[in-house]
């Protein structure tokens, strides 16, 4: 019965699928960005992927444990998981708008927002495992999506930051 509940979870919390989709797109984007960085700045591919994956894991850890990491910041955030998620999401968006204006850390903002939305969706359906289990689960979804996006043969991007539009 527990396996069935686990398999139905993406249908009950569809923002988990959004997190996976964002991870696939980010993995594909990073795979198209890697050759340009190798040519222009001489960055080693192993270093590039190590930094990007550590950045993604750091975002997941910070976004899945806000009540543990930010307890001293606000008692209000520590009093309720939903309030904690909403306040963290607002902080990420507000800080992200500033960083997007500067074109810095846009990938971090996108990943953080999708992780927080997935957590908020899981909280909505009252699925609240311990923070370490949540971190491992969301990290697994994120890393699987990045790996799949990196393995896609055709880039989803046309060399810029705009998505290629597909007309049906």
Residue 39 inside a domain? The answer is yes
Residue 107 inside a domain? The answer is yes
Residue 144 inside a domain? The answer is yes
Q: CA-based angle 125:70:140, to the nearest 5?
A: 50
pLDDT of 82: 77
pLDDT of 167: 47
Residue 130 inside a domain? The answer is yes
pLDDT of 149: 92
Residue 159 inside a domain? The answer is no
Q: How far apart are CA 138 and CA 119, in angstroms?
A: 9
The range of the structural domain enclosing residue 50 comes to 14-151
Residue 168 inside a domain? The answer is no
pLDDT of 71: 61
Number of domains observed in the structure of the chain: 1
How many CB atoms are located within 10 Å of the residue 73 CB? 13
Residue 166 inside a domain? The answer is no
pLDDT of 146: 93
Residue 63 inside a domain? The answer is yes
Count of CA atoms in the C-beta half-sphere (13 A) of 161: 5
Q: What is the pLDDT along the chain (168 residues), one digit of tens a residue?
A: 777 877 888 888 899 999 999 999 999 988 888 888 788 878 788 888 888 898 899 889 888 876 666 565 666 665 677 777 887 788 788 777 766 666 557 788 889 889 999 998 888 888 888 888 889 999 999 999 999 999 987 666 555 555 444 444
């Amino acid at each position: 019965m527990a396996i069935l509940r686990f398999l139905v979870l993406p249908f009950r919390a569809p923002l988990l699928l959004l997190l996976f989709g964002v991870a696939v797109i980010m993995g594909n984007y990073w795979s198209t960005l890697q050759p340009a960085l190798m040519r222009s700045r001489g960055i080693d591919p192993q270093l590039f992927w190590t930094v990007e994956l550590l950045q993604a894991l750091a975002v997941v850890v910070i976004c899945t444990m806000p009540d543990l990491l930010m307890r001293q910041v606000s008692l209000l955030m520590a009093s309720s998981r939903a309030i904690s998620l909403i306040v963290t999401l607002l902080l990420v968006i507000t800080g992200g708008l500033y960083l997007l204006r500067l074109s810095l850390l846009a990938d971090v903002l996108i990943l953080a927002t999708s992780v927080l939305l997935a957590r908020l969706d899981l909280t909505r359906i009252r699925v609240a495992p311990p923070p370490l289990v949540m971190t491992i689960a969301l990290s697994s979804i994120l890393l699987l999506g990045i790996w799949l996006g990196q393995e896609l043969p055709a880039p989803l991007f046309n060399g810029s930051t705009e998505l290629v539009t597909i007309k049906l």
